[in-house]
Structure 1
Amino acid sequence: MKQVTINPWTWQDQLGYAQAVEIPQASHTLYCAGQAAMDPDGRPVATDMDGQIKLGLDNLETVLAKAGYSLTNVVRLNFYTTSVEQFFAGYGQVIDRLAQAGCRPSGTLMEVKALAFPQLAIEFEATAVR
C-alpha cells in the first residue's frame, strides 16, 4: 500500500502523527468501532490509564488482525479520553507501539465527559486501508 504523508510543518513529528495521509488507489478500507479496555466478554477492565491504553491498543490490533489488517494499515486514529492530562502521561507507549508498526496516522484527540462505561478512560477509533 502506497502512503503519502502530508506534513507542512515538523512539530507533529515528536507526537508521532501526521497532519494528513493520502492513500492513492486503496482497494479496501476498514472502519473500526472505538476500542477500549474491555475483556473478551465485553466487560470493562478497571485499571489505570497506562493499562487502559495497552488493552485498548491490544483490542484494536485484535480487530485489525481478524479482518486481515495490522497497525501498519492504520491511516487515521482518533483518541477519546476522559483526561487529556492522564492520556499524555502514558502517550509514550502509544508512540512506541505505532512506531514499531511503521504507523504514523492522522488523528484527533478529544477529551470527553464520559465513555460507554464509567470505568473507561480512553477509546481508540481507527480507519485502516490496504
Structure 2
Amino acid sequence: MTQRIVSILMLTVLLACTASENATSKKANTMEKEEISFINPSELFNPQQNGFSHIVKIPQGKEHYCFSGQWASDSDGKLISKDFKEQVSKAVVNVKAALNAAGLSLNDVVKQTVYIVDFTPDKKEILVDVAAKEWRVKNFPASTIVPVPLLTTAPNCLIEIEIIAAK
C-alpha cells in the first residue's frame, strides 16, 4: 500500500513538472515572437527628422549587445583625419563593421550615444547629414548627443559613437 502511494505521488510530481515545463516553453516561444518597439508619443516632438526615436522597448527573449564607442580610426588604431565630417563618416563605417562582426546590422541598433568634442549646432548638422546617408534603417534608435571637452581615444578625435543593439 505504501509503495502504491509513493508511486502515485511520484507520478503526480512528474506530471506537474512536465506541465510546468510545457507552460514555460510556450511562454518563451510567445516572448520570442514579440518585436522590438520604437515609440514616439504624440505629446513629444517628432524626433524622426533628427534621426532617432524617443523610446525603444526590447521584449524579453531578445539578445542584447553592448558595443564600445567607435571613432574614426583605421585598422591600426590611428585617427584617419582631423576633419569632423570625415571623422563622422569613418565612425559610422566602424560602427557598421562592429555590428557586422556580431552578425548584426544598423537595423538592430536600439540606442546610440554620440560624444562630440566642442559641440556646435554646425557639428550636429554635419552629424545628421553624414549619418543620414549611411544610417538607412527602418526605425531610428533612441539617441543622445553628449558634448565633451575631449575624447581620450586619440589626440584630435572629435566624435565617438557608442551603441546598444538587440536581436
TM-score calculated relative to the size of structure 2: 0.71
Report the CA distance between 1:27 and its aligned residue.
2.5
Flag the structure with larger Rg.
Answer: 2
1:101 paired residue number: 137
* 1:81 counterpart letter in structure 2: I
Cα distance in 1 between the residues matched to 2:100 and 2:159: 21
**C-alpha contact 2:51 2:140 (8 A) present in aligned 1:** yes
Are 1:7 and 2:50 matched, yes or no? no
1:119 paired residue number: 156
- SS of structure 1 residue aligned to 2:77: coil
Distance 1:107 1:12, change over 3 A: same
1:37-59 per-residue CA deviation (whole Å, 9 max, x = no partner) reads 00101111223111101100111
1:65-117 per-residue CA deviation (whole Å, 9 max, x = no partner) reads 0011111100001000013224213121213432x232400021011010122
Unaligned runs of 5+ in 2: 1-33
Aligned length: 129
TM-score calculated relative to the size of structure 1: 0.90
* 2:151 counterpart letter in structure 1: L
Q: If each structure's helix is expressed as a fraction of its own residues, which one has the higher value? A: 2
2:98 equivalent among 47, 55, 63: 63
Are 1:88 and 2:124 matched, yes or no? yes
Cα distance in 2 between the residues matched to 1:103 and 1:57: 17
Unaligned runs of 5+ in 1: none
Seq. identity, %: 27
**C-alpha contact 1:5 1:21 (8 A) present in aligned 2:** yes
Are 1:74 and 2:104 matched, yes or no? no
Structure with more contact order per residue of length (Cα contacts < 8 Å, sep ≥ 6):
1
Cα distance in 2 between the residues matched to 1:20 and 1:14: 15
Distance 1:37 1:77, change over 3 A: same
**C-alpha contact 2:108 2:166 (8 A) present in aligned 1:** yes
RMSD between superposed Cα atoms in Å: 1.6
